Amino acid sequence: MEKIGILTSGGDAPGMNAAIRAVGKIAAYKGIKVYGIQRGYLGMLNDEIFPMDNRFLSGIVDRGGTILLTARCLEFKDQKFRAIAAQNLKKRGIGGLVVIGGDGSYRGADSLSKEHEIKVVGLPGTIDNDIKGTDYTIGFDTCLNTILDAISKVRDTATSHERTILIEVMGRHAGDLALQACIAGGGDGVIIPEMENPIELLAFQIKERRKHGKLHDIILVSEGVGHVDEIAGILKEKLATEIRTVVLGHVQRGGTPSGFDRILAARMAEKAVDILENDEGGVMVGIESNKIVTHPLSYAWDGERNYDMRDDHDLALLLAR
């Protein structure tokens, strides 16, 4: 394969730039020309495609966000528009594509590859960690650490005022961020979509903590269970403590990528270029049990993820006591 394209799609995630840089540098080393596609599938459709030289890649390994920009493009769900986008690749002789995004982006990639014989490799780029076929996604670790920093700050004021504070974190329908932040951040309770979360039990646990002299409670709430203020409202009726809510929001999506995310991005990028160099495609790259692996793109949305949260949930509740 002589020419490949690369794009980022869906929500941005720290470490996407490290992946773009690694794809660009490794492909150049192998004599493969790389084209950057701006704004994800929207840019492919609008012909925003340019040769990505080394200057474009310099100074980006430690930058959050994506220098290629990202967008959501509903037209790409329509075969007619995918044909226009594919033509924009073909007229430049681009036969392969690296798509960095979530499973929605993989669906688009899968259709494109089947309809137009473009070899596609998906790299998991999202803070949500919600992609089947990989233990970790690029951006999750950085986001987790951003949340941990916020928990420490919130805990200071929660203790001073002896309050119960509910912190809502992102994750879309996945509870990974909330659950792992609870374990690592010393949270005192967690509410995630994958588990039953009886508010009565949480209220009981908070009362028990207070009986044992605890001055605060930090509860991690995944956005996938609904708005944090509604949960605070129900909890208020059951508790005597003062309650506040914090919605961390988009601060979770930014920031310098962690070492873990940069290394993950580099390893996955190397695999993606290897696959395309061999004229193969139709796969996503993941990391499982610390090994770089591949699966067909459809694996990402076909069936349940392998992460059974019950053990970590038990651990979080044990540590919250």
Question: Which residues here bind ligand ADP, judged by CB under 6 A?
Answer: 9-11, 41, 72-73, 76-77, 101-105, 107-108, 111, 126
Q: How far is the CB of 111 from ligand ADP (least distance, A)?
A: 5
Q: How far is the CB of 207 from ligand ADP (least distance, A)?
A: 40
Of 82, 253, 262, 295, the residue at the interface with ligand F6P (CB under 6 A) is: 253
Q: Cα(274)–Cα(280) distance, rounded to whole angstroms?
A: 9
Question: Which listed option, ligand F6P, ligand ADP, none, makes contact with residue 105 (CB within 5 to 8 Å by class)?
Answer: ligand ADP
177-213 CB burial, b ≥16 within 10 A, e <16? bbbbbbbebebbbbbbbbbebeeeebbebbeebbeee
| Cβ nearer to ligand ADP, comparing 202 with 269 | 269
Q: How far is the CB of 249 from ligand F6P (least distance, A)?
A: 9
| Cβ nearer to ligand ADP, comparing 128 with 312 | 128
Question: Which listed option, ligand ADP, ligand F6P, none, makes contact with residue 108 (CB within 5 to 8 Å by class)?
Answer: ligand ADP
Smallest CA-to-CA distance from 107 within 318, 320, 300, 315 is with 300
Asked if residue 64 binds ligand F6P (CB under 6 A), the reply is: no
| 128 catalytically annotated | yes
Asked if residue 126 binds ligand F6P (CB under 6 A), the reply is: yes
On the 0-12 / 13-18 / 19+ scale of CB atoms within 10 A, 272 is buried
Q: Interface with ligand F6P by CB under 6 A: which range of 54-62, 169-177, 203-211, 300-308?
A: 169-177
| Cβ nearer to ligand ADP, comparing 109 with 202 | 109
Question: Which listed option, ligand ADP, ligand F6P, none, makes contact with residue 127 (CB within 5 to 8 Å by class)?
Answer: ligand F6P
Tokens 């004599």 map to which residue?
Answer: 31
Do residues 203 and 210 touch, judged by C-beta distance below 8 A?
no
DSSP 8-class letter at 258: P
Do residues 306 and 132 touch, judged by C-beta distance below 8 A?
yes
Return the axis-axis angle of helices 140-161 and 259-277, rounded to nearest 10°. Answer: 160
Q: How far is the CB of 245 from ligand ADP (least distance, A)?
A: 26
Q: Cα(182)–Cα(316) distance, rounded to whole angstroms?
A: 6
Q: Cα(195)–Cα(28) distance, rounded to whole angstroms?
A: 46
Q: How far is the CB of 244 from ligand F6P (least distance, A)?
A: 22
Which residue among 128, 135, 176, 312 is the active-site one?
A: 128
Q: Cα(267)–Cα(168) distance, rounded to whole angstroms?
A: 32
Contact set with ligand F6P (CB under 6 A): 11, 126-128, 170-172, 223, 253
Catalytically active residues, by annotation: 128
